[in-house]
């Protein structure tokens, strides 16, 4: 598969998971400095990884929530909470993942993740 095909495949999945508006704004906001990273992440994260048959999107979302929480990447966590809900992850499942993060990565990581996930959930639910 060519680079362009992999990018287009990734762009499709990225829009399905994160929403077309968000992705379009993200792409439009890329400048000369950030464009390569934006293209690379779309091609490899979304095109090469998220389209693999070994895990479904819901499972990939759950894994991402745990990893992003453990790493303290709050901006990405909020984005992926919204994507996880799109992928069929329930609020209760998000809660369970974040509780597991708190036990294995520390209560501060869990608390921060709960705060940020709650904000993202409220945004999606319109509350």
pLDDT for residue 6: 93
pLDDT tens across 106-122, in order?
Answer: 999 999 999 999 999 99
Question: How would you write 10-29 as a 3-class SS string?
Answer: HHHHHHHHHCHHHHHHHHHH
Architecture of the domain defined by 54-127? Up-down Bundle (1.20)
The CATH 1.20.1290.10 portion of the chain extends over 54-127
pLDDT tens across 59-100, in order?
Answer: 999 999 999 999 999 999 999 999 999 999 999 999 999 999
Give the Cα separation of 95 and 47 in Å (integer): 28
Query: Which pTM does this prediction carry?
Result: 0.91
């Amino acid at each position: 598969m060519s680079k362009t095909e992999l990018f287009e495949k990734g762009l499709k999945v990225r829009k399905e998971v994160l929403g077309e508006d968000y992705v379009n704004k993200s792409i439009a906001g890329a400048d000369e400095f950030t464009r390569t990273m934006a293209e690379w992440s779309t091609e490899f994260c979304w095109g090469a990884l998220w389209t693999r048959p070994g895990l479904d999107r819901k499972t990939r979302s759950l894994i991402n929530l745990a990893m992003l929480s453990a790493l303290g990447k709050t901006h990405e966590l909020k984005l992926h909470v919204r994507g996880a809900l799109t992928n069929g992850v329930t609020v209760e499942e998000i809660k369970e993942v974040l509780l597991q993060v708190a036990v294995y990565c520390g209560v501060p990581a869990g608390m921060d993740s709960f705060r940020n996930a709650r904000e993202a959930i409220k945004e999606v639910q319109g509350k």
